[in-house]
Amino acid sequence: MISTAEVERALENVIDPEIRRPITELNMVEKVEVTPEGGVTISILLTTAGCPLRETLTADITRVVSSLEGVASVQVQMGAMNTEQRAALQTKLRGGVAPKKNPFTQPDSLTRVYSITSGKGGVGKSSLSVNLAASLAAKGLKVGLVDADIYGFSIPRMLGVDTPPQQLGDMIIPPVAHGVKVISIGMFVEDNSPVVWRGPMLHRALEQFFADVHWGDLDVLLLDLPPGTGDIAISVAQLIPHSEVVVVTTPQTAAAEVAERAGHMARQTEQRVVGVVENMSYMVMPDGSHNPIFGSGGGEIVAAQLSEQLGYDVPLLAQVPLEPEIREGGDAGEPWAIDEGNSPAQQAIRNLADSLVHRSQDLSGRNLGISPL
């Protein structure tokens, strides 16, 4: 006959879809009952009664428990945590860290933080951000993505996220899409209504994205920035001084002025520019030739100019061709880079993801957050 202990052990394999920890660890298993005939009843406590993921959780629990020998039937009952239980969970998730602290500025943080930036709009920052994030997650890394484009948010649609984040007290649990934990102001405004905030509000929103969102231990955090060099870029540099910058450009040679601005910004914020990505580099024609629709050479020029301006090597990290599937994937919430196949753009983005995780930690040009006494 199956024992409650065996069922409880099996439940250690059920992971909460959002918090990403075993439900047993989160004190979500309230009770397990087993009848002599092998009927198992499991009572689960959800963080909120309206938890949108109750069906996923029920299915996962049923699958895991019914595969045990001696189990004839599985019943899952859902209840909700009371105030004390929620507070206890919150404390547990914080792991002893005081509330309202930005985890990415803690000395022991191992998360690499990259801002995806550009001097001008529409060059593909958001598309690259979601495709890179999903590729990194597909490689098994723990990845977060912050939509730092407060006015022009586009990440929820591109990742196909339509569930609002759950709140646990003053803690925000980020939705997970394609393995990526993601947060965007678009999840908090109604019907895509525009956000009309001034600088200090933007700063506060970003601060909350870092400190109030429960990210857990991340390997990589990507920030999709708005175009240009405004308040948000400065806030990011202040909030996460060791974050590094990836500059996205198109192949137009006029992109040189982009380099000028990006370099100026990096010097001002004391952030390191890790490299340049040229997007929309060319289109592969039916005969296999490359059509440079938006010109060529921009990426090389920007990389060379930034190296000269900043005094260290700023490489051209990738050239991503134009492929209609990138736009289609963005519209459908299905990042093209993790789709099956091995197109030139998919390869370029996957290689870029590799190079970002395998870079050695170089401290030159980097703000270490140390101020003289």
Ligand X SMILES: Nc1ncnc2c1ncn2[C@@H]1O[C@H](COP(=O)(O)OP(=O)(O)OP(=O)(O)O)[C@@H](O)[C@H]1O
SS3 112: strand
Position 330 contacts ligand X (CB under 6 A): yes
Asked whether position 271 contacts ligand X by CB under 6 A, the answer is no
Which candidate, 309, 200, 180, 193, places its Cα nearest to that of 245? 309
Nearest-angstrom CA–CA distance, 208 and 87: 19
Residue found by looking up tokens 């990011």 in the block: 236
Of 250, 323, 335, 338, the one binding ligand X (CB under 6 A) is 323
The site that binds ligand X (CB under 6 A) totals a number of residues, namely 22
Closer residue to ligand X (CB): 57 or 232: 232
**279 is a contact residue toward ligand X (CB under 6 A):** yes
Binding mask 121-160 for ligand X (x = CB under 6 A): xxxxxxx---------------------x--x-x------
The stretch near ligand X (CB under 6 A) out of 5-13, 265-273, 304-312, 321-329 is 321-329
Binding site for Mg ion (CB under 5 A): 125-126
Nearer to ligand X, 303 or 348 (CB): 348
The nearest distance, CB 122 to ligand X, in angstroms, is 4
Distance CA 293, CA 189 (A): 37
Closest by CA to 46, choosing from 18, 66, 73, is: 18
Three-class SS state of 231: helix
**In terms of CB distance, is 220 or 349 closer to ligand X?**
349
Q: Pick out residues in 173-212 that bind ligand X (CB under 6 A).
A: none
Task: Name which of 141 and 326 has its Cβ closer to ligand X.
Answer: 326
With contact defined as beta carbons under 8 Å apart, do 279 and 153 qualify?
A: no
- DSSP secondary structure letters along 130-189: HHHHHHHHHTT--EEEEE--STT--HHHHHT--SPPEEETTEEE--EETTEEEEEGGGTS
How far is 335 from 331, CA to CA, in rounded Å? 9
The CB-of-158 to ligand X minimum distance in angstroms stands at 8
Kindly list the residues in this chain that would bind ligand X in the complex (CB under 6 A).
118, 121-127, 149, 152, 154, 226-227, 279-280, 320, 322-323, 326-327, 330, 345
